[in-house]
Structure 1
Amino acid sequence: MNLVFFNNTTLAWLTAFGIAAGVALALYIAKKVGVHHMRTLAARTETRLDDIAVEALDGTRPLAIVIMGLFAGSKALTLPPAVHLFATRAAIVTGLIQAALWGNRALRAWLTDYYQNRAGDPARATSAAAVGFIARTVLWAVLLLMVLDNLGVNITTLVASLGIGGIAVALAVQNILGDLFASLSIVLDKPFVIGDFIIVDKFLGTVEYVGLKTTRLRSLGGEQLVFSNADLLKSRLQNMTRMTRRRAAFTVGVTYDTPTAKLRLIPAMLTEIVKSQEPVTFDRAHFSGMAASSLNFDVVYWVETADFVRYADIQQEIYLQIMDRFAALGIEFAFPTQTLLVRDARETEPSAPAP
């Protein structure tokens, strides 16, 4: 026991190995017991945060436990300053890497849960993928900087260089970055999602894909329309899928020779026809004006559904009933006409003087 190896007795080495084994075993048992109890507790709750925490903790690497045990055991030894510094830095680097692995595993668990709960919403899956990619990049970039700083590297110059380089790269790829941030804006703010029918300026179609750079629509003609995300957000956009009701307005014109008594019947008749449809909310029907060749009546109503086919069916039925009722009352629809008044020029010629 009095033998000396590297300035430490055999007893000191045995003690160090015992401490290392004890700490490693204690950490391993703590991990197993902690994960088991946390998983049991998480099964009783509705929130997913505890489940994600369990998944992260379950990702503790055995190598990290062993290194932490060896570091604890090294404290019982008399080591040269260089070796002690190496052991300390190795333990810190191991801890940082393990923390990054916990964060990466937690992020992956969150993404998996996000995908499962929103399997019918591909747009949110796209947003989760984009956010996950950025979060992973930031996580490992911060880890790299912390490891380099722990190893004694002066990261101030490196960070400054990265900042300058980042500005240069950002200027070079500003269009791509603009589309990327526009994509995040689309998937987080959700002006539309996959499956929505939208109108962008003079283009219209169904959203098929929301990517990191482009959004793709399938037009009514069958071709695919591709928009950059930045340009899409700058445009005036109409989301027809989120329409809850449709406003309908039309004008009926009758001839000028229609008797006043019949003209007075028309607003009530139009009101009755519109109100007989379902689901329709009547707004108004009025004699609105006297045009060049017609007496006009305006009708406004709301169809309480976003279904265009149902809207078209209701509109068709209203028009047909109007035609039937007008025919029954002998009311004629007006059409563009002109009355040409021809005057006999001989009637305007001055009479010749008497001889």
Structure 2
Amino acid sequence: MNLLGQTYYGNTLQDWLTALAVVIALALLLYFAKRLVIARLAAWAQKTETRLDDCVVEILAGTRFLFLLIIAFYFGLQYLELPPKPTRLITHFTVIALLLQAAMWGNRGIVLWLDDYLKRNRETDAAGATTVSVLGFIARVALWSILLLMILDNLGFNITALVASLGIGGVAVALATQNILGDIFASLSIAIDKPFVIGDFIVVDDILGNVEYIGLKTTRLRSLGGEQIVFSNTDLLKSRIRNYKRMYERRVVFSFGVVYQTPHEKLKSVPVMVREIIEGLEKTRFDRAHFKEYGDSSLNFEVVYFVQDPDYNIYMDIQQCINLSLFEGFAREGIEFAYPTRTLYLHRETGVVHG
């Protein structure tokens, strides 16, 4: 009796062995072809300066061997005579595998492009980098949503009716998850309107820090104390935000006092001295210096100037230089700084001292 001629499920053993050989041979052929193509493309990509060919290599490198095996399995079964129902199932399964692999290629491409853009533009265009991060997530969600609909359509579901039913159910889901959806829409508002971007120094109420991360639900600051502060995006946009990174210059007002015994001519020279000190420094713009008022124990001056750099450390260095120069100039001119004093009153009858 011929063993190879025996029939199993409508096909001879020889047909089954032939199909198995085709599956194994085609799977190995596709695997080595993938490696060869990737190696050739990688060698070619190293000779170019563009990033596109490197991305193509990395995308193709994400091709799963299981996907190649499914393709080989599909073509191997073409040598067999199978009933209509198993044939349809195999076809649906192969199409789903193809769609999943295509979605993985697309997802990998989006991630690679996003990472490359952020590396190149995070320092020079932080606002654009923030927007691209959010849009990249939306693109990935849209990609997998389209994939799910295509898979359901391939399985025979009525997509039109499904989308309509999802619209009704979506209202209920939206009501149940309105806080989460509110944070997501707030993140889109941050990405589009850009009230702040990663790297900005902001103050929210009495909390201040550098923006470290902007996500779909939360934004995180790194405070001056070192701890991380997490805000929900909705609450953050409801607050009044002061963005110091976008401050082109800093207005500084400071006061000091001199003693009442200061001669008139010395008193008149104080604003001139202050002006010369400030105008002699870099990154400063003098505004005014005035003898403001008669204080309880001092003659008070008020000075206004601008630091033409938003950096706080630069401002403090300039203010320190002004203070030291004033101290030196007053010592040279014989002008004394006033200091707080208390007046003591002696009660005539009781002899009790009151401050």
TM-score interval for Structure 1 and Structure 2 normalised by the shorter chain: 0.5 to 0.7
| Structure 1 position 37, deviation (Å) | 1.3
Looking at structure 1, the residues matched to 64 and 222 of structure 2 have their Cα atoms a distance apart, in angstroms, of 48
Read off the aligned partner of 2:243 and give its amino acid letter: N
Counterpart position of 1:151: 155
1:44 is paired with a residue whose SS is coil
CA RMSD of aligned residues (A): 5.0
Looking at structure 2, the residues matched to 28 and 328 of structure 1 have their Cα atoms a distance apart, in angstroms, of 87
Counterpart position of 2:345: none
Q: Kindly report which structure 2 residues correspond to 1:192-231, keeping only aligned pairs within 5 A, or say none.
A: 192-193=197-198, 196-207=200-211, 210=214, 212-217=216-221, 226-231=230-235
Query: Are 1:164 and 2:171 matched, yes or no?
Result: no
Q: Give the structure-2-normalised TM-score.
A: 0.67
Read off the aligned partner of 1:91 and give its amino acid letter: T
Read off the aligned partner of 1:56 and give its amino acid letter: I
Looking at structure 2, the residues matched to 87 and 22 of structure 1 have their Cα atoms a distance apart, in angstroms, of 19
User: 2:285, 2:308 within 8 Å by CA — same for their partners in 1?
Assistant: no
Looking at structure 1, the residues matched to 218 and 162 of structure 2 have their Cα atoms a distance apart, in angstroms, of 34
Q: In the superposition, relative to structure 1, how do residues 190 and 60 fare at CA in structure 2: closer, same or farther (>3 Å)?
A: farther
User: 2:130, 2:198 within 8 Å by CA — same for their partners in 1?
Assistant: no
Percent of aligned positions with the same letter in both sequences? Answer: 50
Query: Are 1:30 and 2:33 matched, yes or no?
Result: yes
Q: Which has the larger radius of gyration?
A: 1
Counterpart position of 2:62: 59
Q: In the superposition, relative to structure 1, how do residues 214 and 100 fare at CA in structure 2: closer, same or farther (>3 Å)?
A: closer
Counterpart position of 2:196: 191
Looking at structure 2, the residues matched to 314 and 151 of structure 1 have their Cα atoms a distance apart, in angstroms, of 72
User: 2:289, 2:304 within 8 Å by CA — same for their partners in 1?
Assistant: no
Looking at structure 2, the residues matched to 134 and 247 of structure 1 have their Cα atoms a distance apart, in angstroms, of 41
Q: In the superposition, relative to structure 1, how do residues 322 and 213 fare at CA in structure 2: closer, same or farther (>3 Å)?
A: same
| Structure 1 position 305, deviation (Å) | 4.4
Q: Kindly report which structure 2 residues correspond to 1:33-112, keeping only aligned pairs within 5 A, or say none.
A: 33-75=36-78, 80-107=83-110
User: 1:283, 1:300 within 8 Å by CA — same for their partners in 2?
Assistant: yes
Looking at structure 2, the residues matched to 86 and 78 of structure 1 have their Cα atoms a distance apart, in angstroms, of 14
Read off the aligned partner of 2:169 and give its amino acid letter: G
Counterpart position of 1:340: none
- Structure 2 unaligned blocks of 5 or more: 340-355
Looking at structure 2, the residues matched to 190 and 45 of structure 1 have their Cα atoms a distance apart, in angstroms, of 39
Query: Are 1:178 and 2:182 matched, yes or no?
Result: yes
User: 1:198, 1:205 within 8 Å by CA — same for their partners in 2?
Assistant: yes
Q: Give the structure-1-normalised TM-score.
A: 0.67
Read off the aligned partner of 2:96 and give its amino acid letter: V
- Structure 1 unaligned blocks of 5 or more: 336-355
Q: In the superposition, relative to structure 1, how do residues 221 and 96 fare at CA in structure 2: closer, same or farther (>3 Å)?
A: closer
User: 1:192, 1:239 within 8 Å by CA — same for their partners in 2?
Assistant: no
| Structure 1 position 191, deviation (Å) | 0.9
Query: Are 1:314 and 2:318 matched, yes or no?
Result: yes
Pick the aligned partner of 1:282 from 266, 281, 285.
285
1:204 is paired with a residue whose SS is strand
